[in-house]
Amino acid sequence: MTTTLPKSFRHIRLELAREKDHPQGDAGHGYDILLPLKDDGAIDTASLGGEAVCRVRRFRSDENDRIGKLVRSGGGRWKIDYDKSDDADDELAFHFEAEHFVAGEYVSIREDDGELHTFQVVAVREP
């Protein structure tokens, strides 16, 4: 079955930005997110027909990829949910409700190590 996405959906590529343990960042550690965006790069919540289409792929060069969904949680927050039956594996998408996903911008995600990591938006394109 093929799903036709609204025109506002974009493929967003995030890569780990510079941090203490990665002074040059890490292009092998990041996320590919399928998400509807407004013209200014903010999340287009009006185009969200169902959370299942907001797919996330987490990639790390030393691990298998993980596939999940970007979903709204309480208080307008967003999280990456890898297993609907287990909240322990969720990753908090920090202030995604206020972010603008345009190339060169930065966003933060609290990953499974419990640490908040910063990622650079390196690409935004049509899926």
For residue 3, being part of any structural domain is answered with no
Percent of the chain with pLDDT over 70: 94
For residue 72, being part of any structural domain is answered with yes
**Burial, 54: exposed, middle or buried (Cβ in 10 Å; 0-12, 13-18, 19+)?**
buried
For residue 56, being part of any structural domain is answered with yes
Mean pLDDT of 23-44: 95
Decide which of 47 and 119 is more confident: 119
For residue 1, being part of any structural domain is answered with no
Q: How many domains does the chain have?
A: 1
Name the β-bridge partners of 26.
16
For residue 104, being part of any structural domain is answered with yes
Of 61, 111, 118, the closest CA to residue 89 belongs to 111
pLDDT at 86 over 90: no
pLDDT at 1 over 80: no
- Residues near 126 by Cβ (< 8 Å), separated by ≥ 6? 9, 10, 11
Mean pLDDT of 90-115: 93
Per-residue model confidence as pLDDT tens digits over 2-27 = 567 778 999 999 999 999 999 999 99
For residue 4, being part of any structural domain is answered with no
Structural domain containing residue 43: 9-125
Q: What is the value of pTM for the model shown?
A: 0.91
